[in-house]
């Protein structure tokens, strides 16, 4: 069911969960002040209780009130990438973010999304918002996708197709070492942070580095069994998730991510194509993962590998 900005605000105020658009993917929103609605998000998604949610706010200036430490380069990062697809994980004052939203951690994730309708909703107050998909399944990049997962009566603010199509990049503040690490690859490639931070943040591998609990789970996966392929041979038949400018075995049906020179288009199409596999009842598909290891391709490759992980 499609709702207006005003109705989204009313429902959030009344402690209900609604779906909101962002430039990355759609989210399921609950008001920050409503632990009951936050609990409902976990139930609706089938999300493990130890996987925390991102606090979405309308402006960076709101964030200092929540945190116990503001890294010196916070203002530079905020100015360069917000509103936009960056999420920052910071140590928080425990009374400012409900415990269930933080999954009991002493940190919380923050983001200022770049979507006019959702920013209008956030002006009324912050929301907790994970991606609007059933846990483990491909994210939603349109209002229709949200309705497939949560039913046609679920309230969705329709903001059109998501411009980016991949989730935000998560930077984790390492309090001991006073550096940022990447907890989740996303719409912003690691190298874009170099000019702002003076270093390229490392991709967190755990150990002494903090991690995003969500990265430990199976993710983004369609029902189809995906086989990841570096190079194709003629006996590979059936459906291929690949690129329109590449040669594949004869008679294959191509689910096209666009041109192999255009990662932005591939990002916009990825989740819709993974969902289309399910809609068309396809049981198995080959996935072309012969992709560069930099820029947005790195995120795309990581998503494809996670979507195709053995289960
Ligand atoms: O683009 C996005 O970030 C979207 C849109 C809706 O804003 N949201 C999103 O949320 O992707 P979700 O819940 O699907 O993923 C949030 C990730 C999870 O991997 C979670 O573990 C991590 O953020 N996270 C949240 N709070 C954290 C914290 N305090 N420490 C480490 N990781 C955290
Ligand atoms: Mg998600």
Ligand 1 neighbour 53 (Cβ under 6 A) = yes
Model pLDDT, residue 53: 98
The closest-lying atom of ligand 1 relative to the alpha carbon of residue 28 is 6
The closest-lying atom of ligand 1 relative to the alpha carbon of residue 56 is 7
**pLDDT (tens digit, 9 = 90+) per residue, 47-90?**
999 999 999 999 999 999 999 999 999 999 999 999 999 999 99
Ligand 1 neighbour 142 (Cβ under 6 A) = no
Model pLDDT, residue 311: 47
**pLDDT (tens digit, 9 = 90+) per residue, 140-183?**
999 999 999 999 999 999 999 999 999 999 999 999 999 999 99
- The answer on pLDDT for 118 being more than 70 is yes
Question: How high is the mean pLDDT of the chain?
Answer: 95
Tell me what percent of the residues of the chain surpass a pLDDT of 70. 98
Nearest to 274 by CA among 243, 244, 252, 303: 303
214: confidence class by pLDDT, cuts 50, 70, 90: confident
Sheet holding 179-184, edge to edge: 2-3, 156-157, 18-20, 27-31, 127-128, 54-56, 107-111, 86-91, 169-174, 179-184, 202-203
Taking residues 172-200, report their average pLDDT. 97
Model pLDDT, residue 164: 98
Would you call 63 helix, strand, or coil by DSSP? helix
- The answer on pLDDT for 102 being more than 80 is yes
Model pLDDT, residue 310: 57
Taking residues 117-133, report their average pLDDT. 98
CA of 248 to the centre of ligand 2 (A): 31
Model pLDDT, residue 105: 97
Model pLDDT, residue 215: 81
**pLDDT (tens digit, 9 = 90+) per residue, 236-295?**
999 999 999 999 999 999 999 999 999 999 999 999 999 999 999 999 999 999 999 999
- The answer on pLDDT for 207 being more than 80 is no
* Residue of 28, 212, 270 best suited for mutating to test ligand 1, as the one with most atoms within 8 Å of CB: 212
Model pLDDT, residue 209: 67
Taking residues 5-34, report their average pLDDT. 98
CA of 137 to the centre of ligand 2 (A): 8
**Peptide bond connecting 242 to the previous residue in cis, omega within 30 degrees of 0:** no
The closest-lying atom of ligand 1 relative to the alpha carbon of residue 133 is 14
The closest-lying atom of ligand 1 relative to the alpha carbon of residue 111 is 7
Ligand 1 neighbour 54 (Cβ under 6 A) = yes
CA angle 240, 246, 251 (to 5 degrees): 50
Tell me what percent of the residues of the chain surpass a pLDDT of 90. 91
- The answer on pLDDT for 196 being more than 90 is yes
Give the CA distances from residue 186 to residues 24, 83, 279, 296, 309, in Å, rounded to whole numbers and listed in that order.
9, 15, 26, 8, 18
213: confidence class by pLDDT, cuts 50, 70, 90: confident
CA angle 249, 255, 260 (to 5 degrees): 80
Query: Strand pairing partners for 229?
Result: 288
Ligand 1 neighbour 107 (Cβ under 6 A) = yes
Ligand 1 neighbour 182 (Cβ under 6 A) = no
Taking residues 130-144, report their average pLDDT. 96
């Amino acid at each position: 069911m499609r709702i207006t900005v005003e109705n989204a605000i009313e429902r959030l105020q009344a402690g209900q969960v609604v779906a909101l658009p962002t430039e990355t993917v759609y989210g399921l929103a609950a008001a920050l002040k409503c632990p009951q609605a936050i609990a409902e998000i976990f139930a609706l998604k089938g999300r493990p209780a130890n996987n925390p949610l991102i606090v979405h706010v309308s402006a960076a200036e709101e964030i200092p009130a929540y945190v116990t430490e503001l890294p010196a380069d916070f203002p530079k990062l905020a100015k360069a990438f917000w509103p936009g697809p960056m999420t920052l994980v910071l140590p928080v004052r425990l009374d400012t973010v409900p415990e269930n939203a933080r999954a009991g951690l002493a940190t919380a994730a923050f983001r200022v999304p770049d979507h006019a309708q959702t920013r209008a909703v956030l002006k009324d107050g912050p929301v907790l918002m994970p991606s609007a998909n059933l846990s483990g399944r491909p994210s939603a990049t349109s209002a229709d996708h949200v309705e497939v997962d949560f039913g046609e009566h679920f309230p969705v603010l329709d903001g059109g197709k998501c411009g980016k199509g991949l989730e935000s990049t998560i930077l984790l503040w390492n309090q001991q070492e006073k550096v940022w690490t990447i907890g989740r690859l996303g719409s912003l490639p690691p190298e874009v942070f170099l000019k702002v931070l003076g270093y390229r943040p490392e991709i967190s591998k755990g150990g002494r580095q903090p991690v995003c609990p969500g990265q430990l789970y199976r993710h983004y996966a369609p029902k189809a069994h995906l086989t990841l392929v570096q190079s194709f041979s003629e006996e590979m038949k059936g459906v291929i998730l690949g690129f329109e400018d590449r040669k594949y075995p004869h008679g294959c049906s191509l689910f096209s991510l666009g041109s192999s020179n255009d990662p932005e288009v591939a990002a916009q199409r990825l989740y819709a194509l993974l969902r289309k596999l399910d809609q068309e009842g396809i049981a198995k598909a080959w996935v072309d993962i012969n992709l560069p290891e930099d820029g947005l391709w790195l995120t795309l490759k990581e998503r494809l590998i996670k979507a195709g992980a053995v289960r």
